[in-house]
Structure 1
Amino acid sequence: MNGCLIIHGFTGGPYEVDPIAQYLEHHTEWKIAVPTLPGHGETLDLRGKKADEWIEHAEKELQILLKECTEVYVIGFSMGGLIASCLTVKYPVSKLVLLSAAAYYVNPKQLLADIKDMIQDVLRGELTNNELYVRYKKKIKDTPISATYQFRKVVLMAKPLLKEIEVPVFIAQGKKDGIVPPKSADFLYEEITYKEKERYFSDEAKHLICHSDDSEELFEKVKIFLAK
């Protein structure tokens, strides 16, 4: 039996990656693990949580899969992609998938476009229907500065390790992502020197790439990449 660890992003939870987890559960017989990192989930409690705690929690889940499965794949979304990269260097992971991995963050051009859309929704009295507003208003309020520092610590820990990745890698990025710019995918593709690597850009996806209108195409590509 094969296994797949899927790691969500900063201030998020399994809901960010549930669509791809469910897709793989329906189309494979793999064991799928989607842990909730400390302080994350539907209700955030990030005060006092450390980068090391997030990595160690994902690490324990990976160790369980490695004991039970013949091959293990790791998928990481946003910050989870960086954690996945760290684990891939340390453990015998067979393949790595990076979704909107946050090697760089904040895409000014797309973020400005999203803010313009939000202003238009305010003028129309439809702000509560704006996806960006609904998803991030509470996150901003519930995310202490100390947690943001720990997120940056994960980025700094992961970047030097990218050149040490020696397994096939699939990198996916949304062109309309206002949080992680497309140059992050290009950076990852160049920094990871292992020859077996693929890069995919979604024309429709914003940051939550697993929830985009064209996500089925992405999921199929990921499944084929992991299964071949």
Structure 2
Amino acid sequence: MPLLPGAEPFRHDGGEVGVLVCHGFTGSPQSVRPWAEYLAERGLTVSLPLLPGHGTRWQDMQVTGWQDWYAEVDRALWSLRERCSQIFLCGLSMGGALALRLAAKHQEAVSGVVVVNPANRVHGLGARALPVLRHLVPSTKGIASDIAKEGVEEVGYHRVPLHAAYSFRRFLQLVDRELPQVTQPLLLLHSTQDHVVPPADSARILARVSSRDLTERLLERSYHVATLDHDAATIFEESYAFIGRLTRQESAPRG
């Protein structure tokens, strides 16, 4: 299937500091590409993969699951490790959950994590019914383009495939159990008004990670896809400053 316009993966070879950027559930690289390009323009090596089943049509996502999505970002991380001395993880929504699991699993290979409106659970009245409902109904209304800024659209699916939603729910349960294994510096930015992932998800993540260097920032003018919204510049600038602070600490002489 041909890719949707803007759904192409992005890669930039820059300096010794690498950044892996992860997009969200039913979305595409388009939703976080401005973030990736901002970091690339400042000399960082950046990898933004397209998750399997995404960026084409929602039916293609029905035959994928969390193992496929996680394997893709895991491969991208290993690729960055081959050429970079330090690696940071960035993610939006499910991309945030993927980044947190990578941090939990790869520990010393990851220098820091930045997440925007990270998901911690699947919400909605039908969430608990997914094990049965996914066999009866193939899809439900999409969640793309929750954006306050007028005239801005997210390239994502207009339908949510329920087999994939069930797998996503199981993945979030797994990530929640592994959050105490996240020890790296963490910058978490979340919208005060989000129609997809409520602030309670961010609060739970902040309470369960073991990071000592922990920063929370509120995004008061944006909805869920904040990386395309009014607060996008704040996200980009804060994440770059966060990475810069930690790379300076790493390179500072000791003694």
Instruction: Please indicate the TM-score interval, normalised by the length of the shorter structure.
Output: 0.7 to 0.9
Is 1:217 matched with 2:234?
A: yes
Q: Deviations over 1:180-205 (max 9, x none)?
A: 11121111111112210100110011
Match in the other structure for 2:182: 165
Counterpart residue type for residue 236 of structure 2:
F
Cα deviation, residue 222, structure 1: 0.9
Q: Secondary structure, in 3 states, of the residue corresponding to 2:21?
A: strand
Match in the other structure for 1:40: 54
Is 1:145 matched with 2:162?
A: yes
8 Å Cα contact 1:177-1:206 kept in structure 2: yes
Q: State the alpha-carbon separation in 2 of the partners of residues 30 and 40 from structure 1.
A: 26
Q: Deviations over 1:23-69 (max 9, x none)?
A: 1112x211100000000125442021021011011100100001110
8 Å Cα contact 1:102-1:184 kept in structure 2: yes
Counterpart residue type for residue 33 of structure 1:
S
- TM-score, scaled to structure 1: 0.83
Match in the other structure for 1:103: 120
8 Å Cα contact 1:96-1:170 kept in structure 2: yes
Cα deviation, residue 16, structure 1: 1.0
How many residues are treated as equivalent by the alignment?
204
Is 1:31 matched with 2:45?
A: yes
Counterpart residue type for residue 212 of structure 1:
D
Is 1:58 matched with 2:73?
A: yes
Q: Deviations over 1:81-121 (max 9, x none)?
A: 1111111112211101111101145599xxxxxxxxxxxxx
Counterpart residue type for residue 49 of structure 2:
P
- The percentage of counterpart residues that share the same residue type is 26
Structure 2 residue corresponding to 1:71, chosen from 86, 97, 106: 86
Runs of 5+ consecutive residues of structure 2 not aligned to the other structure: 1-15, 126-149, 246-255
Runs of 4+ in 1 over 4 A off after TM superposition: 105-108
- TM-score, scaled to structure 2: 0.75
CA RMSD of aligned residues (A): 2.2
Structure with more of its chain in helix, by fraction: 1
Runs of 5+ consecutive residues of structure 1 not aligned to the other structure: 109-129
Counterpart residue type for residue 83 of structure 1:
L
8 Å Cα contact 2:121-2:169 kept in structure 1: no
Is 1:86 matched with 2:109?
A: no
Cα deviation, residue 214, structure 1: 2.3
Q: Secondary structure, in 3 states, of the residue corresponding to 1:3?
A: strand
Match in the other structure for 2:224: 207
Q: State the alpha-carbon separation in 2 of the partners of residues 96 and 145 from structure 1.
A: 29
